Amino acid sequence: MEKNNKVMMFVIMGLLVLLMVILGGGFIYVANLLRNSADAADNGGGSRNVTASQMDPRDIYLFPLERAVATNLRKSADGISHLANVSFSVGIDNTQKESEETIALIQDKEPMVRDICLSTMRSMTYDELSREDGMDVLRYQVLNRLREDFQTNLIVSVSISDWYLEP
């Protein structure tokens, strides 16, 4: 009986040591994750995904495209290709170290920005754009394409100042 108690005591002690090792490893892992995410945010937003609604408007540099983007839309269910004319502005987070480089890049590559807006508009139908949330969907799709093509999350918004859809 006494031998069984000693064996049980060793098993319990072993399980407690194993539990402490697992908890300690988990704590170190979580601490490293938190430190790495804080470092990424401090280094210009490598993994940041901030939107304009989360920022002070004074911290956003707005770059308006020189001209409105006009194109025929994808044919709707009625078989007609409608026309859309939209004025875009690109909002850039102006609080990071890389902001000036990103602003200069967007200004320099305005034809590329226009092409992204144009191809996004051409992929949509009149029915999609004329819905209540149609311009929000367009804004969101253009923002995601800009972030992807320019490989930066410093682009925080796409604004639409004027738009016209030909019925």
116-141 pLDDT per residue, tens:
999 999 999 999 999 999 999 999 99
Question: Radius of gyration (Cα) for the chain, nearest Å?
Answer: 26
**C-alpha distances in Å from residue 51, one per residue of 56, 72, 84, 154, 165:** 10, 29, 26, 9, 27
One-letter amino acid at 86 equals: V
| Angle subtended at Cα 141 by Cα 56 and Cα 87, rounded to the nearest 5 degrees | 70
For residues 112 and 56, give the distance between their C-alpha atoms in angstroms, rounded to a whole number. 27
Structure confidence at residue 41 (pLDDT): 46
Q: What's the pLDDT score for residue 43? A: 42
**pLDDT given at position 49:** 61
pLDDT at 29: 67
pLDDT, the chain, mean: 84
pLDDT confidence of residue 106:
92
Q: State mean pLDDT over 67-74.
A: 92
Number of neighbouring beta carbons within 10 Å of residue 61:
19
Whether the CB-CB separation of 67 and 86 falls below 8 Å is answered with no
Least confident of 7-11, 41-45, 119-123, 143-147: 41-45
Tell me the C-alpha distance between 55 and 87, whole Å: 23
pLDDT score of 34: 62
Q: Beta strand pairing status for 69-72 and 83-93? A: antiparallel
pTM greater than 0.75 (yes/no) = no
pLDDT higher than threshold 90 for residue 143: yes
Q: What integer is the mean pLDDT of 18-25?
A: 78
Say yes or no to pLDDT of 59 above 90: no
Window from 45-49, 61-65, 71-75, 158-162 with minimum mean pLDDT: 45-49
Region 54-72 average pLDDT:
89
Mean pLDDT, rounded, for 101-114:
93
